[in-house]
Amino acid sequence: MRLPRTIIVSAFLFLLPALNTAEEIIAHSSDSEPAWIIDPKSTGSDLPPEGRSLFDFLVAEQQSGKIVFHIPFPFSSLLDKIEQTLETEQDGYSGIRKVLIPLGRSLQRPAAGKEFFNYPRAVAVVDAEPKERPDHAGLLLKDRLYFGYHEKSNILEIISYNETAGRFEFQLVKDYREGGKPKVYYAPRAICTACHQNHAPIFSRPTWEETSANPVIKKYLKDTGKSFYGFNLDHGIDIPNAIDEATDRANLFSLQQWLWREGCGLDNTKESIRCRAGLLIAMLQYRLSGNRHFDINNDHYKNDVLAVIQKNWQQYWPQGIAIPNPDIPNRDPFLRQAKTTPVNTRSLNLMDVETSFEPIKSRLPIKILKPLNKETITEIVSGLSDFIALPDIKRLDRHLSSFASKTVIRKSFKSKCQLKQKNKKNSHRVSFDCSLEELGEDKLYIRGRIYIQDGKFNRCTIEQLNIAGNRYKNIQRSDGKIIPGGIRLKLKNDNLSIYLNNGSFIETLTFEWPHSSLDKNAYNVEATLVIVDTFSPVISAIELLSNETLNQNSDTLTSKPFRRSGVMSSLFKNLGMPALKWCCEAISEFPPAKLELQAKQSFDNTIPKGFIKNCAHCHYSREHFPPNFLYGDSETVKLKLSQCAERIFYRLGMWQLDPSIRPKTAMPPNLSLLRHNINPGEWKNSSMLNDLKSYISKLLKQESGREPRLENFTNRDYESLRTCLQY
């Protein structure tokens, strides 16, 4: 039976009864409570701790003997370059899902001014496997590469996986414009993870009304007459739904890497190394089976994987693990405008995001795993297997198929079948139904149709095939030939051989009947299914990897993150398979990784230190979004604070209101305070907050001659307040 692709939320969601809000859960740290798989309070290093992002490898080119980054412009050219590397069989599907979001919630949303529909934000997500290439393993970009592009900002935002570090990186391409000189930077993670609290991509829940799937938004986009980077606007919710599913899968990468690393044990003992070896066996069985199943009953899995992970779980995570939430609420940008009047497409109110929809708002865990049972581990293993690319499995399949011709370890299964035939001129359709037969513990059942044209095999469809506890449905591809007294088939599934859960594969399926039966409409025949054990060499190769790792001659099965290139290249070598060029570990010749801004800010004593401590991590930047009112020398900063005073006063004033009635999120946000070990409940009465409010109040009083009152600002629409910095 095909395993679920994601963990069922309802099975594992146990909200903590003693904690009522996301802020309390994030702040709470105790041995009696679940541990976060990714702690929202932690940002991690801005630059990669090791390795580089997949995006860096994608755009790296050799010029004049050195590696440079070449980012094609316009945006459509960059996407074309990526699409050429992807495997797509579906008509009209390029391997990249694309939507436009003119009224979204990104930091770049003010860049268009009031021209929302002339300059929408473009979002593109890779969700296809890499194309198989001669001598090159290719880049596994599926669910691992995300773009956000706003034409007016001249900035390309990227979220891209780092295989070596086992985390997503946040990057910017600046000066991305016609005639520009694009430069690649790593972004300050404190800014990015304020919304991306899962340290991974986020997306809204259904029905994605901010996107071009919304018929109203689609109409206004089409009315501009622009092509928008070649994006197809004639799509429904299937495209944002696919993006949502990609972000959901990406959100579980941290859990899957946890199983590989911490689940097996970080100490790199023989036990932890054998645990990862058992995981790798299960992952390969699952991928070879077409993502259907793996052998949960063999000793490698029961003793080396299940027993070890469950023991470690009881010792280190008895209270469970909290999984962060990649979903933000669906938002209708037109909700605040009267439904009975025409939409004012240039109204700044369309940009206003109410508190409940703000992605910066702290989010509860999407699920808490507790307890960690066999079924849960099985589902996590199925997700971890997607760290192995389909071309890797195709190469392995061909190698194992060639090995099959040399082995004598075969097993045959037989079943009596009833065949029904429909004949037309020069063609036959033979339907077969093979009854269930007991052969010891082995069971065989087959149902399907064979098509014969001009006396030759044409095609075969297997509707159902059950063998030794393995079940398959709708096998559409097969090779076959007419033989004396019957027909012999070689079955295929998604261009792979048909593998059982233990890694053995179905070599042939043969139907034998008397030649005279072809003249009858119904008759009985015998079917023979031949199974070949081709997986033994894989187990031997993985055992060799275990020994190499244990002897410190390899780090393949250590507690480092699962790295496709390191693991699969070592496995292929031990199997005697041809050498390939692999991505993505060699970075010695890469340009140095650069941070968008590295200098530290300091002010004179007239500017409260609280701005540096609590606001600079987001508002000290060369970029305009979020407003960089803390960037520059002291005099420049004072001018910027004065211009932004209305909005800063409004946001600071939110701390005076009960959270349930705040029209906007209070600043600094709760998560920012928690990252500095500041209790939000204590912050609202703190002297540091009072200093910030007092400073901004003085600026506003100098303008108006009156003491500012919060209600005078909250009675206005937030977007009608003076714009914080004009560019």
| 614: enclosing H helix or E strand | helix 609-619
Distance CA 354, CA 331 (A): 9
One DSSP character per residue, 53-107 reads -HHHHHHEEEETTEEEE---SSHHHHHHHHHTTB---STT--SEEEEEETT--ST
CA distance to 74, 142, 287, per residue, from 493 (Å): 39, 21, 12
| 188 pLDDT more than 60 | yes
Tokens of 102: 């003119």
User: What's the distance, CA 491 to chain centroid?
Assistant: 32
Q: What residues does each domain of the chain span?
A: 54-252, 408-533, 609-720
Q: What percent of the chain has pLDDT over 90?
A: 68
**Which tens digits make up the pLDDT trace of 226-273?**
999 999 999 999 999 999 999 999 999 999 999 999 999 999 999 999
| Section 22-45 average pLDDT | 80
pLDDT value at residue 340: 52
Sign for the pseudo-dihedral over CA of 358, 360, 361, 363: positive
CA neighbor of 445 nearest in space, from 426, 472, 423: 472
Query: Exposed e or buried b for every residue in 323-341, given b needs 16+ CB within 10 A?
Result: bbbbbbeebebbeebeeee
| 393 pLDDT more than 90 | yes
CA neighbor of 324 nearest in space, from 22, 32, 21: 22
**Which tens digits make up the pLDDT trace of 360-383?**
999 999 999 988 899 999 999 999
Distance CA 445, CA 466 (A): 5
Query: Considering all CA atoms of the chain, what is the largest pairwise distance in Å, rounded to the nearest integer?
Result: 107
Lowest mean pLDDT among 161-165, 369-373, 386-390, 548-552: 369-373
Counting Cβ atoms within 10 Å, is residue 480 exposed (0-12), middle (13-18) or buried (19+)?
buried
DSSP-based three-state secondary structure for 378: helix
Residue type, 142: K
Query: Exposed e or buried b for every residue in 132-156, given b needs 16+ CB within 10 A?
Result: beeeebbbbbbbbbbbbbbbbbbbb
| Section 173-181 average pLDDT | 96
CA neighbor of 331 nearest in space, from 500, 450, 204, 146: 204
Neighbouring CB atoms inside 10 A of 25's CB total 22
Phi and psi at 433, nearest 5°, equal -140, 110
pLDDT value at residue 5: 39
Distance CA 6, CA 4 (A): 6
| 394 pLDDT more than 90 | yes
Pairing of strands 203-204, 327-328: parallel
pLDDT value at residue 725: 84
Residue 31 — pLDDT band, cuts 50, 70, 90? Answer: low
Higher pLDDT among residues 97 and 17, named by residue: 97
| Section 12-37 average pLDDT | 62
CA neighbor of 187 nearest in space, from 280, 285, 72, 48: 48
**Which tens digits make up the pLDDT trace of 336-351?**
765 556 778 888 888 8
Average of per-residue pLDDT values in the chain: 89
| 14 pLDDT more than 80 | no
Distance CA 700, CA 693 (A): 11
What's the pTM?
Answer: 0.92
Lowest mean pLDDT among 315-329, 495-509, 636-650, 682-696: 495-509
pLDDT value at residue 550: 96
pLDDT value at residue 599: 56
Taking CA 312 as the corner, what is the angle to CA 309 and CA 313, rounded to the nearest 5 degrees?
85
pLDDT value at residue 339: 53
| 438: enclosing H helix or E strand | strand 427-439
| 9 pLDDT more than 90 | no
CA neighbor of 357 nearest in space, from 380, 385, 334, 329: 329
pLDDT value at residue 439: 45
**Which tens digits make up the pLDDT trace of 276-326?**
999 999 999 999 999 999 999 988 899 999 999 999 999 999 999 999 999
Tokens of 171: 């990057």
Annotate 553-592 with three-state secondary structure.
Answer: CCCCCCCCCCCHHHHHHHHHHHCCCCCCECCCCCCCCCCC
Q: What percent of the chain has pLDDT over 70?
A: 92
Distance CA 169, CA 689 (A): 32
Residue type, 279: L
Annotate 153-204 with three-state secondary structure.
Answer: HCEEEEEEEECCCCEEEEEEEECCCCCCCCEEEECCHHHHHHHCCCCCCCEE
Distance CA 153, CA 15 (A): 41
| 191 pLDDT more than 70 | yes
| 28 pLDDT more than 70 | no
Reduced to 3 DSSP states, what percent helix, strand and coil does the chain have, rounded to the nearest 5?
35, 20, 45
One DSSP character per residue, 303-360 reads IIIIHHHHHHHHHH-TT-EEEP--EE----TTTTS-TTS---TT-GGGG---GGG-TT
**Which tens digits make up the pLDDT trace of 630-642?**
999 899 999 999 9
**Which tens digits make up the pLDDT trace of 59-87?**
999 998 899 999 999 999 999 999 999 99
Is the Cβ–Cβ distance between 305 and 312 less than 8 Å? no
| 17 pLDDT more than 50 | no
CA neighbor of 158 nearest in space, from 216, 217, 78: 78
Is the Cβ–Cβ distance between 108 and 150 less than 8 Å? yes
Q: How big is the chain, counted in residues?
A: 727
pLDDT value at residue 4: 41
CA distance to 44, 141, 219, 384, 539, per residue, from 561 (Å): 16, 17, 46, 11, 21
Long-range CB contacts for residues 546-549, cutoff 8 Å, separation at least 24: 546/273, 546/274, 546/277, 549/268, 549/273
**Which tens digits make up the pLDDT trace of 400-435?**
988 877 776 788 888 888 888 888 878 888 899 986
Neighbouring CB atoms inside 10 A of 484's CB total 6
Distance CA 563, CA 583 (A): 10
